[in-house]
A = this chain, B = another copy of it.
């Protein structure tokens, strides 16, 4: 018999999740985060980013592990295919953001999930980035489709509602579907 239960569902510590929500309600400043990446060009279309530090909860923080990520273009696009393309990383970001939300929201709603998998497809016409369309074709994805397979101890409607709520609260879904201000500054020499 323990007095302080530690409810965990879907690998989500729901007690801490709700406590975090309460803490942020009490001090909105905790919610201001800044994430960062540092990238170095390697050769050709190959570059490498490191991800480590970030700001959040009113202080400088760091991930437990620094992560190194490479990008390249495939050979058919005159790269060396050392790594995924930048636009494929965007698809991973979208899938993983929606999936994290699904696990949290399901836990908060008392639903135990047994499976969440997804496929993401993004269609892109390279006439845009190659500058061969006179501006008629955009540079980025013309459309992105995510398909989730989700299983758990809830009915169809409840499971669909969890995915929908995750979409409504997803940072990456927002960044893709709505305009985000991006500045590009240059220091030379």
Contacts and interface: CB of A to CB of B under 8 A. Distances in A.
A178 interface: yes
A7 interface: no
A177 B183 CA distance: 10
Interface string A57-68: 100010111010
Q: How many copies does the complex hold?
A: 2
B118 A38 contact: yes
SS class, residues of chain A in contact with chain B: mixed
Contact of A184 (B17, B33, B146): B146
Given A21-B130, A160-B186, A34 B74 contact: no
B96 A182 contact: no
Contact of A179 (B37, B61, B177): B177
A132 B24 contact: yes
